[in-house]
A and B are shown apart, each in its own frame.
Chain A
Amino acid sequence: MTQAEIKLCSLLLQEHFGEIVEKIGVHLIRTGSQPLRVIAHDTGTSLDQVKKALCVLVQHNLVSYQVHKRGVVEYEAQCSRVLRMLRYPRYIYTTKTLYSDTGELIVEELLLNGKLTMSAVVKKVADRLTETMEDGKTMDYAEVSNTFVRLADTHFVQRCPSVPTTENSDPGPPPPAPTLVINEKDMYLVPKLTLIGKGKRRRSSDEDAAGEPKAKRPKYTTDNKEPIPDDGIYWQANLDRFHQHFRDQAIVSAVANRMDQTSSEIVRTMLRMSEITTSSSAPFTQPLSSNEIFRSLPVGYNISKQVLDQYLTLLADDPLEFVGKSGDSGGGMYVINLHKALASLATATLESVVQERFGSRCARIFRLVLQKKHIEQKQVEDFAMIPAKEAKDMLYKMLSENFMSLQEIPKTPDHAPSRTFYLYTVNILSAARMLLHRCYKSIANLIERRQFETKENKRLLEKSQRVEAIIASMQATGAEEAQLQEIEEMITAPERQQLETLKRNVNKLDASEIQVDETIFLLESYIECTMKRQ
């Protein structure tokens, strides 16, 4: 794990789970898999705190455990999974676009809690939806269940590996840790539950402030005494499926940018047809015949068969090679080259970064070197039609930033410099890795800056929160306009301006984080699929 990744993981864990969990998590990421006592000793935290932190991390699928010989249980952190926490808003938003509010809340609850049973999810979501509805209306459990089943069918949520049911005749002491197993077939199998009920509105009296006896504190374990019907069957969000969806989205929008709306619709149809038949790491989709595609086009689109064939030929002939022709039966068999598509997207990202950082002439040189694969300095000047001095300068700038590399080809066995060719080349994989590392560093910087800004204005933020709380409570008890006005004036005009500036800055930083994460997704997908191929 690189330093930048570890720093980012540390910031994310601290923001979401607090400092103790952060300390334990970062220690595990740094040192690899370790048993409980070693963790406690090395981090200097008490055993109880370590246990609590590990429970939280295991619940959220960030740490896994394994039993080694002699009964020692070792815990290992998944650094890449920690980095996924950046993407939670995008997962939730995607579900909203596909399954509307109910689906959005289901995925949100699953992500916030790590893993939950279906009954718990349905209850929580129904309660939340009921809160937002008008007085008197409630959300039925059945509707939430239906959405849950649909999410499971399209593989957006999956079952967690569960404790195997051992026979009671098993002699000897129980193992130090359960080995969780999951059957491939059962991963998306929804248990047969009849959840009957409606969402409950939270009584406003529960929200009264100080002096509440501890008994009224809401418990996250079930209040009811009856056994949960699907006890032990936990569900989690299937991040791979979301990634597949994002990848498809990226390909479709790339085609739309390059060609037109109709071709992007055709590509979208092809991808939708291959969702279930193709695994997420396959290099290309299953071949689809032109007839099939014609039948599966969305209802609104009435293009004739010939037009479809023309579009497919056009897509297949495109130098970007998103779509390839794999045969002639059935009117032409077409595949989508997923790996090539990801490579093109990563390359486009690199080009765009070079353009924005160094200027369009540099970008021209970059594209030239990409096209020619290996090219000498002199040839760069000629082909790019840029004066020698500037070309040299730009090449060196890109070389020093590691977007390009030099390849030496010696003419003589003694590698004498005067008799060696030096060729400029772009190694896309290493440039992508370099850029990814920079992205991690950027996000870490953004988060730090946001935390700094918030800390600077902490006093002011707290004051404004208090004033809001006072106003809210006064409005509830029915206060006059003049009194409310007076309370509002507790925050002076320059303070208000300061708050406005703070809000604007924090929004900007947050938006930047979201957008850098999009780049991270593209680069990571590209690197992952290239590594698999090798």
Chain B
Amino acid sequence: MAGNKGRGGCAAHTFNTEAVGFSKGEKLPYVVLKPPPLFPDADYKSVPLKTEDEEYMLALKQELRETMKRMPYFIETPEERQDIERYSKRYMKVYKGEWIPDWRRLPREMTPRNKCKNTGPKPEKAKDTDVLKKIEELGKKGDGENSEEENEKEEGSKEESKEGDDDDDDDAAEQEGYDEEEQEEENDYINS
């Protein structure tokens, strides 16, 4: 109902301009047409930081940050295997302590299950023996399956190497050895 007045002659606002403080005919402030700037200018310079008393806390903060990175709770993301390992990396490796949580305090589903992936490839290998064609077929099928298994195992070994447990490193080494052995065997069959 108030909007109808605007269509006729001069523009009228939905609020009373006088009540909000504009006298008649005065220029209204600009309408905001775009979002505010990303780094707005500050009208006044900010109060300086208090640095005298805070030196100890500052040092403490920085030290804490560094210490946290070296704790076993800091789980690093696995880096992709680089082709050439830098010599200096060996000197900068941080040896992290191991941490085993108190399983009694955690839900039972959190305990790591024993991984039975090692039993997988053994029965497969037993099958690739008899007839040459059958061997080739099985070999081709085995290649497809083996690559899938190898991917799984690589993922598994990557996770395990992240956890940093002694056992898992051995497992991963074992599994990697397995993969190489298998690949060699497959190649022998196909070439002959």
Contacts and interface: CB of A to CB of B under 8 A. Distances in A.
Interface stretch (B72-80, B131-139, B141-149, B180-188): B72-80
B110 to A, nearest CB: 5
B71 A217 contact: no
Given A417-B14, A420-B16, A112 B67 contact: yes
A369 B17 CA distance: 21
A377 B18 CA distance: 10
B46 A356 contact: yes
A356 B44 contact: yes
A320 interface: no
Contacts of B49: 508, 511-512, 515
Interface residues of A, number: 82
A55 B106 contact: yes
Contacts of A357: 42-44
Contact of B159 (A49, A396, A465): A49
Interface string B1-39: 010000000000111101111100000010000000000
Interface stretch (A84-92, A195-203, A274-282, A484-492): A84-92
Nearest to A393: B29
A417 B61 contact: no
A361 B162 CA distance: 59
A356 B75 contact: no
A417 B60 contact: no
A218 B97 CA distance: 5
B75 A21 contact: yes
B14 A209 contact: no
Given A209-B90, A512-B49, A163 B105 contact: yes
B16 A417 contact: yes
B120 interface: no
Interface stretch (A175-183, A432-440, A519-527): A175-183
Interface in A381-397: 388, 392-393, 395-396
A227 to B, nearest CB: 14
A15 B101 CA distance: 21
Nearest to A97: B56
Interface-central residue, B50, B60, B92, by most chain A CB under 10 Å? B60
Nearest to B15: A417
Interface of A: 15-21, 36, 46, 48-49, 51-56, 58-60, 65, 67, 73, 88-90, 92-93, 96, 108, 112-114, 162-163, 174, 176-178, 180, 209-210, 212, 214, 217-221, 232, 234, 356-359, 377-378, 388, 392-393, 395-396, 416-422, 462, 465-466, 469, 506-508, 510-515
Leading 3 A-B pairs by shortest Cβ distance: A177-B107, A417-B16, A418-B16
